[in-house]
Amino acid sequence: MSARTMKGIAFAIAEAIDQEMSGNPKVVVMGEDVTYWGAVFGFTMGLHQKYGRERVIDTPITEQTFMGMAVGAAATGMHPVVSLMFVDFLGAGFDQMYNHMAKNHYMSGGQFAMPVTVLTAIGGGYGDAAQHSQVLYGLFAHVPGFKVVVPSTAYDAKGLTLTALRDNNPVVIFGHKLLTGLPFLPFEGEEETVPEEPYTIPFGQAAVRREGSDLTIVAAGVMVPRSLRAAERLAQDGIDAEVIDVRTLVPLDTDTLVASARKTGRVLIVDEDYQSYGMTGELAFRIQAAAFDALKAPIHRLAVPDVPIPFSEPLESAVIPGVDRIVEEARALAGAQVTAD
C-alpha cells in the first residue's frame, strides 16, 4: 500500500469522498458553496472540478430544503453527502434532520434506508463569535438514529468518512476547523502518513493515543492533540497520563474507556461542547457504572461552561479548554483521593 504525508482532516475527507464517488454513482454532494469553495472548510474541495454539477450541487442558503432533498434522495436509493457549513446553523434544517433523516428508517418499518452523510465544521479558537464557534455534537448524539463521528487525525478522517459513505444510516461527521490544515486557519494537528488507497475504520472503536498508568484523559476532536500535549507536560512532573480518543460518540466504545479507568483509577474527560447535559456527563456515568470499584477518585470533567462562545479571544480562551487548564485539572485529579463523606 502506498502512502504520503498529509496535513489536516479536510484533505483526507475530500479524498475519501472522491474515491467513493469514483466507484459509486449513487453518491452525490450538495450544500452551500460545495463547488468552488469546497464547503468553505475544504471537505468537498476538488470534487466539482472532477464530477461537475450533475453530482456536486451548490444550493441556496436553505438548510431546511436541501436537508429535505437529501432525505428524499436517500429514500430513492441515492447516497447524498450534505454540507452543513457550520454546525451552528443546524437549527435551520432541524426538522428534516431530527424528524425525518434520523427516524424515517424506523417509522417506515425498515422500508426506507437513510444513507446520508452530513459534513459539518465545529469549534472555536480563532475569535469567530457565538454563532460560528460551537461544537454541539451532543445534540446529535442525544437523538436515536444518527451516528456521530469526530475525527482528530487525517488518517482517521479518511477511514471514518469511507465507513460513513458505505453505511445505510445517517452519519454526521464533525470536522474541527483547527484540524483542517487549511492555510487561513491555525493548525493544531500534525502532518501524518495516510495511505493513498481507500480503507475503512470501523465505528465504535476508540483509539488509545498514549499509554499511561496514573490517570486517563478522554477527549474528542481538537481536544485530543491538546490532551496529548498536556500529557507530555504532566510526564515532566512524573504523572503518566493515558490519552484516549473516542473517535465516534455514536456508537461509543465504552469497553475501552472502562478498561482504561480500571487500569489507572482516575479519569478526566475533556470536551469542547457545553458541559451541562453533554458528552462529559454521559461518559462519566458509563465509566462509573462499570468501573466504580476501581476508581481512586471521583471522575473530573473539563468542558465549556454554559455561556455562548465569546468573540473576544482572551475570553474565548477562558471558556474553551486549553493545554494549561488540562494540565491543571489533571494535576488536581492525580492528587485527589476518595472521601467517605
Q: What residues are annotated to the active site? A: 132
On whether the CB atoms of residues 310 and 130 are closer than 8 A, the answer is yes
On whether the CB atoms of residues 175 and 9 are closer than 8 A, the answer is yes
Q: Give 224's Cβ-side CA count (13 Å radius).
A: 24
Which cell is 2 given?
502506498
Return all residues near 195 (Cβ < 8 A) that are at least 6 apart: 1, 2, 3, 158
Neighbours of 264 (CB within 10 A): 22
- Bridge partners, residue 5, by sequence: 193
Return all residues near 287 (Cβ < 8 A) that are at least 6 apart: 254, 257, 258, 261, 267, 299
- Bridge partners, residue 212, by sequence: none
The 8-class DSSP code of residue 308 comes to P
On whether the CB atoms of residues 26 and 166 are closer than 8 A, the answer is no
Distance CA 333, CA 300 (A): 7
On whether the CB atoms of residues 334 and 266 are closer than 8 A, the answer is yes
Which cell is 154 given?
487525517
Instruction: Tell me how many degrees the CA angle 200-117-61 measures, rounded to the nearest 5.
Output: 145
The verdict on whether omega for the bond into residue 183 sits within 30 degrees of 0, i.e. cis, is no
- Bridge partners, residue 175, by sequence: 121
